[in-house]
Structure 1
Amino acid sequence: MAGIYIHIPFCKIKCHYCDFHFSVKHNNIPDMLVAIKKELLDKADYAEQDVINTIYFGGGTPSLIEPKEIKAILEVIKANYTLGTSVEYTLECNPDDLSKNILEAYQLIGINRLSIGIQSFDEDQLTFLNRAHKAAEAIDCIEIAQAVGFKNITIDLIYGLPNTDEVYWQRQVDLATQLNVPHISAYCLTFEEKTVFGHLLKTGKIKPLEDEPIQKQFQILTETLRSAGFEQYEISNFAKDGFISKHNSAYWKGVKYIGIGPSAHSFNGKTRQWNIANNALYIQKVKNNISYYEVETLSDQDHFNEYILTQLRTKWGLSLATIAAQFPNYLTSFKSGIEKFCESGDVIVQDRTYTLTEKGKLIADYISSDLFIV
C-alpha cells in the first residue's frame, strides 16, 4: 500500500512561525495545477504499482484552490493509480476559506477528512501568529463542517507561545474538546531561522517560553485529552477511537508515499527524493521534462535511523523482533543504547517493544538521536 501527498504551495499571508514552502503570489496557480497533474503522471510507477490508501492535500493552503480544481487532480489519480476500497481523502484548510457551499462541494468530490489550521481560539494570539482568520471563524467553521456532514475532522493547535500561561492553554484545549472533533494535533512552537519569529528571536525582540511552562502545557494537553477520550498515538497527535490518521500513520510505519508539487518528498522503500522548492522553476522543469528533484538511495543505516526516528514517537514503539529481523547488524548497539533510557524511566519495554513514558516524550528527539547509528 502507499499514499499520495500533494503540496499546494500558496497562502493568503505569511504566518510568522511557518517555514514550509509557499508563496503569497497567486498568478501562476493555473500553471502550477497543470504541473502537478503532469507530475502525477510522471510518478505513476514510483511506488511500484502499490494500492493507494491515502491522498492528502497539504500546503501551503489547499483550501485556496477551487473544489473543481481539486476534483481535476483526483481524476488524474483515479485514472492512473490503483486505489483501495476505503481511501482517506484529507484536505488541509483554513477557517476563513470554509463556507457551507465550499464544504458541500468538497464532500461531493470525495473529500472525507478535513485538517483545519486553527492554531488558537484566542484573538490576540491569532494576531500575534499573523493568522488570516478570526477566533469566531475558528469555531464557526468546525460547526458548519459538522452540520454539512463531515465526521472526520482534525484541528491543529500550537502551544508554548511566548507570554502564555497554563490558564490560557487549558482554555484552548477545553474549547477543542467541547467542539467534539475526533482528532487533534498539537505542536510546540519552534523558532525557525527563515521566519518572522526567527528574526525577532535573533534580534532579541521576542523571548521564548521557558522549558518548564512548556512542559506544563504539554502535560495539560495530554491529561485533558486523555480524560476526554483521546488516545495519544504519536507525540503530537491525539485521536478518538477509529479516527487515527491513516496518512500520517503510514509515514511513521515506513509505508511508501509519493510527494507531488514543489518541495514535496517521496519514499518507495529504496530511495527518497525531494522536489525543488521553487514554484517557477518547478513549473518550468516539469513542463519541459527537465529533472526537478534530487534522489538519495537509502542505506541500511539510513533505514535503521529512520525507523528509530519515526516509530519511537508513536504508540507502536520500537519492536525488538523487527530490529533483529531487518537490522541484525545494529541489534547489539540498540540494546545497549536503549538500556539507560529504560533505567532512567524514559522508556518502558513490554512484549519486546520499547515505548516512551510520559517523561520520555519530553525528550523524544534526544533519545532518538542517541540511538542513531552514525
Structure 2
Amino acid sequence: MAGIYIHIPFCKQACHYCDFHFSTSLKYRDEMVGSIAKEITLQKDYLGGETINTIYFGGGTPSLLNADEINRIINTITGLHTVASDAEITLEANPDDLHAAAVKSLRRTPVTRFSIGIQSFFDEDLLWMNRAHHAAEAEASVKRAQDAGFENITADLIYGYPMLTDVKWKHNMDTLFGLDIPHVSAYSLTVEPRTALATFVKNKKTPPLSDQQSAGQFLMLMEQMEKRGFEHYEISNFAKPGQYSRHNTNYWKGVKYLGVGPSAHSFNGDTRQWNVANNAKYLAALADNKLPFEVEELTEENRLNEYIMTSLRTQWGLDLSKLEQIAAGTKTILQKEARPFFTKDWLKQDNDTLTLTLSGKLYADHIAGELFF
C-alpha cells in the first residue's frame, strides 16, 4: 500500500498567506503536465511495486487542469503501477474553478474526491486573503459537485485571523455543516516568512495574529465538530466515522509515498527526497531525462522524531512499542520525558499508547518538540 502526490504549481493569483510553491503564470502548463508524466515514468520503481491506494493532486491549484490533463497523469500512473480498484483519488479545487462545465467534465476522470478551498463564507475576509472566489461561489461549488454525484468532499476553513470574530467563525462552521459534507479541514492562520501577509504585519498594515484568539476559536471548532458527529482524527482534520482522508492518514502513519512535480516530497521509509522548487529548473531537468531532487538518509533519530511528531497529532496516538522497534530503550526514555505533560493533563496513556487530551491539543507542536530525541 502506497500513495502518489502530484504537485500542480499554478495559481490564478497569490493568496496573501500562502508559502507553497506556485506560479501565477500558466505559460508552461502543457510542458509541466508532460514533465510530471515523465517523472512518474522515471520514478516507477521508487515504491517497490506496492499497490497504489491513494492519488492526490495538490498545489498550487490542480483544478486549473482540464479533464484530459488529469486523465493523462492518472493514465501514466495506472500504466506503471497496480492501482487499487477502490483507490481514493483527490483533486484540490478552488470554488471558482468548479463551474458547471468543469464539474461535468471531471466526471469523465477517475477522481473520487474533492478538497475544496473555501476558507471563509465572508466576501470581505476572502478579499483580505486575496482569494479568487466569492462566498456565494463557495456554497454553489459544493452543491454542484454533490449534484453531479461527488459525495466524498472535504472543505478547508481558516481561523485565527484579525477580521474573524467568534460570531463570524460560528457562522462559517454552521454554513459548512449545512452543506452536509463528510470531512472538514480547519487551519489556524500562521504568518509565514516571505509572504505578503508577513510584509503587511511587519509594516503594520494588518494587526499581528493573536494566539489567544486562535486558541479560543480552536476550542470552538472542536466543540462544534463533536456536536455534529465529526471525529477529531488529526489536529486540523475532522471526519464523519469512516470518512478520513486516506491519503493524508497514510502520511501520519508513515506509509510510503512518491511525490512528483516541483517542490514535491517523497518518502520510502529509509530516505526522504524533495524536488527543486523552481518550475524552469524542474522542466529543464526532466527535458534532459534527469530527476531534479535532493535526498536525505533518515537517521534513527530522524525516524524517532518524525514518528513522535506525526503520531501525536492523531486520535490513534503514539505507540511506545513502535518506538522500541525503531530503537531499543526509547520507550522508557520517552515515558520519563512525558511525565510533566501527564501532570498538566496534556497527555494521557492507555496501555502503550500516548494521546493528547483536549487541552493538550492546544500545545501539540510544543509537546512533540519537547519529546524529541
Bigger shift: residues 336-345 or 183-192: 336-345
1:269-289 deviations in whole A, cap 9, x for unaligned?
A: 111000000001100011102
CA distance in 2, matches of 1:138, 1:14: 18
Residues 119 and 158 in structure 1, CA contact (< 8 A), matched pair in contact too: yes
C-alpha distance in structure 2 between counterparts of 1:269 and 1:106, whole Å: 34
- Spell out, residue by residue over 1:291-319, the C-alpha distance to the aligned partner (whole angstroms, 9 max, x if none): 41000111111100000010100001001
Residues 5 and 57 in structure 2, CA contact (< 8 A), matched pair in contact too: yes
| 1:111-141 deviation line (CA, Å, top 9, x unaligned) | 1100000000101000000000011000000
Q: Which moved more, 1:283-292 or 1:36-45?
A: 283-292
Within 5 Å, give how 1:20-35 maps onto structure 2. Answer: 20-35=20-35
Partner of 1:85: 85
1:171-182 superposed matches below 5 A: 171-182=171-182
Conserved 8 A contact 1:67-1:109: yes
Q: In the alignment, is residue 130 of structure 1 matched against residue 130 of structure 2?
A: yes
1:85-136 CA distances to partner (integer Å, 9 max, x unpaired)? 3100000000001122211221221111000000001010000000000110
Q: Give the conservation status (yes or no) of the 8 Å contact 1:177–1:225.
A: no
Match of 2:274 in 1: 274
Partner of 2:91, secondary structure, is: strand
Corresponding residue of 1:167: 167
Structure 2 letter corresponding to 1:362: L
Where do 1:96-135 residues align within 5 Å?
96-135=96-135
**Aligned mates of 2:169, 2:274 — CA distance in 1:** 36
Going from structure 1 to structure 2, the CA distance change for 1:69 and 1:271 (only over 3 Å counts) comes to same
Which blocks of at least 5 consecutive residues in structure 2 are unaligned? none
Counting only pairs closer than 5 Å after superposition, residues 57-96 of structure 1 correspond to structure 2 as 57-96=57-96
Q: Secondary structure at the match of 2:340?
A: helix
Distance 1:325 1:78 in 2: 34
Paired with 2:366 and 2:262, the residues of 1 have a C-alpha distance of 30
Counterpart of 1:236 in structure 2 is: 236
1:327 and 1:208 map into 2 onto residues whose CA distance is 42
Task: Give the residue type in structure 2 aligned to 1:225.
Answer: M
1:270–1:297 contact (8 Å) kept in structure 2: yes
Q: Deviations over 1:38-84 (max 9, x none)?
A: 00001111111111000000000001011110001111000001112
Assess if the C-alpha contact under 8 Å between 2:318 and 2:355 holds in 1. yes
Residue type of the alignment partner of 2:157: L
Kindly provide the CA deviation profile for residues 157-203 of structure 1, in whole angstroms up to 9, marking residues without a partner as x. Answer: 00001132211111111111111011000000000111100111122
**Partners of 2:334 and 2:186 in 1: CA distance:** 30
TM-score, length of structure 1 as denominator length: 0.98
The aligned amino acid for 1:338 is A
Kindly indicate whether the alpha-carbon contact (under 8 Å) linking 1:100 and 1:148 is maintained by their aligned counterparts in 2: no
Overall identity of the aligned pairs, in %: 48
8 Å CA contact 1:59, 1:92 repeated in 2:
yes
* Cα distance in structure 1, aligned partners of 2:288 and 2:47: 23
Task: Measure the CA separation in 1 of the matches of 2:164 and 2:35.
Answer: 43
Residues 252 and 310, structure 2, Cα contact 8 Å, conserved in 1: yes
SS of 1:337's equivalent in the other structure is helix
Cα RMSD for the two superposed structures: 1.0
Opposite residue 34 of structure 1, the aligned amino acid is G
**2:198 equivalent to 1:198:** yes
TM-score (norm 2): 0.98
Q: Secondary structure at the match of 1:15?
A: coil
- The amino acid that maps onto 2:206 is I
> How far apart, in 1, do the equivalents of 2:327 and 2:343 lie?
24
Deviation at 1:325, TM superposition (A): 2.7
Q: Distance in 1 between matches of 2:286 and 2:209?
A: 43
| C-alpha separation in 2, matches of 1:183 and 1:75 | 27
Find the counterpart in structure 1 of residue 295 from structure 2: 295
Distance in structure 2 (CA, Å) of the matches to 1:216 and 1:298: 37
Residue 207 of structure 2 corresponds to 207
